[in-house]
């Protein structure tokens, strides 16, 4: 099985995590919200599959490129 990692596209604050480990997701499902410059930015899953790991917590600051979530890709 392959995996895909969702990374932060911009620096900001993790406002809300919308998925949990073991949850089935699709590419277009929002997985978390990052607040940057007082704007909320939806971050979407990059593949259809199951959430394997979440690397961040709500309230945590992230930098662009930081790992957010790993997805086990469904075949």
Best CA proximity match to 45, nearest among 18, 24, 25? 25
Amino acid 74: pLDDT = 85
Domain CATH code at residue 19: 2.40.50.100
Would you say residue 73 has pLDDT above 80?
A: yes
What's the token pair of residue 67? 């790992």
Would you say residue 32 has pLDDT above 90?
A: yes
pLDDT in tens, 42-57: 999 989 999 999 999 9
Amino acid 1: pLDDT = 75
| Contact indicator for 16, 32 with CB cutoff of 8 Å | yes
Q: How many domains does the chain divide into?
A: 1
Domain with 34 in it: 3-73
pTM assigned to the model? 0.90
Sheet of 67-73: strands edge to edge?
Answer: 3-7, 67-73, 49-54, 24-25
């Amino acid at each position: 099985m392959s995996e895909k990692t969702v990374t932060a596209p911009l620096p900001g604050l993790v406002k809300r995590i919308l998925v949990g480990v073991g949850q089935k997701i699709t590419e277009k499902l929002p997985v978390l919200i990052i607040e940057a410059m007082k704007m909320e930015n939806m971050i979407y899953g990059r593949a259809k599959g199951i959430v394997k790991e979440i690397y961040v917590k709500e309230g945590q600051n992230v930098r662009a490129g930081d790992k957010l979530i790993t997805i086990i890709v469904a075949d």
